[in-house]
Amino acid sequence: MAMDASEIERLILEGIPDAQVKITDLRGDGDHYAALVESPAFEGIPRVKQHQMVYEALKGKMGGDLHALALQTSAPQK
């Protein structure tokens, strides 16, 4: 089952409320997305942990409803 980009954004924002999120459907099929997530919560946290935070926010949808997600995370630039 495909997942809508707005649902991905909603889940991420529920889990990381101060995030700025941009979702792009890479193929137009609802299965392959790219996400750019920027949040002050990522400040000083290694990239792997940042990605884990996003995956946790997706509540187990990754690999099921959400087939592929190219993920970029960062803290805001000062």
Looking at the structure of the chain, the number of domains it has is: 1
3-class SS of residue 74: strand
Q: State the CATH number of the domain containing residue 16.
A: 3.30.300.90
Say which residues have a Cβ less than 8 Å from residue 69's Cβ, sequence separation at least 6: 8, 33, 34, 35, 58, 62
Domain hosting 23: range is 5-74
Q: What is the pLDDT along the chain (78 residues), one digit of tens a residue?
A: 578 999 999 999 999 999 999 999 998 877 889 999 999 999 999 999 999 999 999 988 877 777 789 999 999 987
Beta strand extents in the chain (DSSP E only): 20-25, 32-38, 68-74
